[in-house]
A and B are shown apart, each in its own frame.
Chain A
Amino acid sequence: DAGVTQSPTHLIKTRGQQVTLRCSPKSGHDTVSWYQQALGQGPQFIFQYYEEEERQRGNFPDRFSGHQFPNYSSELNVNALLLGDSALYLCASSVGTGTGPDQPQHFGDGTRLSIL
């Protein structure tokens, strides 16, 4: 039973570039949430996808966008990268109606994004 898988593992970009991160949820899960974790901090919620729609969004600018596909996998896109976007980006999946906060989150290993 595969858990949450994310790709790539590491990524180095320069300011102003664009990046796409990918996530496959745990088998049987239909809701995907994305988090940003800066060094020494807790994960910060970016947004959540359910039934291919963005259901909830945290305090992140429009440069952060996403998508969910019919097979429940998801992408996180970040445009016009800033130095402050350097962080570990975590994808988490869960089961349910997509409300999120009452469901345990199953996290992937994350993508370490470094902006030069």
Chain B
Amino acid sequence: GQQVMQIPQYQHVQEGEDFTTYCNSSTTLSNIQWYKQRPGGHPVFLIQLVKSGEVKKQKRLTFQFGEAKKNSSLHITATQTTDVGTYFCAGPGGSQGNLIFGKGTKLSVKP
């Protein structure tokens, strides 16, 4: 079945360093969504990418959708302690028509 894979699983950075997480799908996606889940919290929608090669920015966060619409990345510039959490990508499933989430990248930031 369709799979959405994320790497790395964990990332520990010093405050001020950059961070990138990568998402790969086994099939072409019509869109990809990114969510952030703080420790003990629930996933919060960050952004949706739809177009091939699309790049969107939210302050220090930059999201990219690959040309083949099978991969995506999230880059955070100059991390802050408020960036701590797990970042998930999610894409539409196949016949079931649901969202398939990756396992997430857990980011920890050392002050």
Asked whether A and B interact, the reply is: yes
Interface residues in chain A, defined as those with a beta carbon under 8 Å from any beta carbon in chain B: 33, 40-45, 48, 55-58, 90, 99-102, 104-110
Bound form: Cα–Cα A108–B101 in Å: 17
Given A42-B104, A45-B98, A45-B100, check contact A105 B45 (CB 8 Å).
yes
Please report the number of residue pairs spanning A and B whose Cβ atoms sit closer than 8 angstroms: 61
**Chain B neighbourhood of A55, CB < 8 A:** 97
| Interface flag for B51 (CB, 8 Å) | no
Selected interface stretch from B11-19, B36-44, B54-62, B68-76: B36-44
Q: Which residues of the partner chain B approach A57 to less than 8 Å between Cβ atoms?
A: 96
Q: Is the CB of B97 within 8 A of A107?
A: no
Measured CB to CB, the nearest residue on chain B to A46 is B98
Q: How far is the CA of A84 from the CA of B88 in the complex (A)?
A: 23
In the A-B complex, list the 10 residue pairs whose CB atoms are closest, starting with the nearest: A101-B92, A42-B101, A45-B98, A107-B42, A104-B45, A56-B97, A107-B43, A43-B101, A42-B103, A56-B98
Q: Secondary structure at chain A's binding surface: helix, strand, loop or mixed?
A: loop
Q: Chain B residue with minimal CB distance to A41? A: B103
Would A106 and B45 count as touching, CB distance under 8 A? yes
Output the least CB separation between B36 and chain A (Å). Answer: 11
Given the interface pairs A57-B96, A102-B30, the reply to whether A44 lies near B101 with Cβ below 8 Å is yes
Q: Is the CB of A109 within 8 A of B99?
A: no
Is there an interface contact between B103 and A99, defined as CB atoms closer than 8 Å?
no
A6's nearest neighbour on chain B, judged by CB, is B42
Chain B residue nearest in CB terms to A92: B43
Q: Interface readout for B69-99 with A: 1 if CB under 8 Å, 0 if not?
A: 0000000000000000000101111001111
Residues of A within 8 A of B99 (CB): 33, 45, 100-101, 105
**Is B64 positioned at the interface, with any CB of A under 8 Å from its CB?**
no
User: Which of A42, A45, A56, A110 has the most chain B CB atoms inside 10 A of its CB?
Assistant: A42
Q: Is the pair B101, A58 in contact by a Cβ cutoff of 8 Å? A: no
Knowing A42-B103, A104-B48, the reply to whether A99 touches B96 (Cβ < 8 A) is no
**At the interface, yes or no: B33 with Cβ under 8 Å from chain A?**
yes
With A104-B45, A104-B48, A107-B44 as contacts: A33 and B30 at CB distance below 8 Å:
no
Residues of A within 8 A of B103 (CB): 40-42
